[in-house]
A = this chain, B = another copy of it.
Amino acid sequence: MQLAKVVGTVVASQKESSLEGIKLLLVRPVDEEGREIGNHLVAADAVGAGPEEMVLIASGSSARQTRLTDKRPVDAVIMAIVDSWSIGGATKYQK
Contacts and interface: CB of A to CB of B under 8 A. Distances in A.
A54 to B, nearest CB: 9
B58 A65 contact: no
- The copy count of this chain in the complex is 5
At the interface, is chain A mostly helix, strand, loop or mixed? Answer: mixed
Contact of A8 (B12, B59, B63, B86): B86
Given A56-B24, A58-B73, A10 B3 contact: yes
A2 B40 CA distance: 8
Interface in A37-69: 37, 39-43, 46-48, 51, 56, 58-67, 69
In order of increasing CB-CB distance, the 10 nearest A-B pairs are: A15-B80, A8-B87, A12-B80, A62-B75, A65-B73, A1-B42, A16-B79, A14-B81, A73-B79, A58-B73
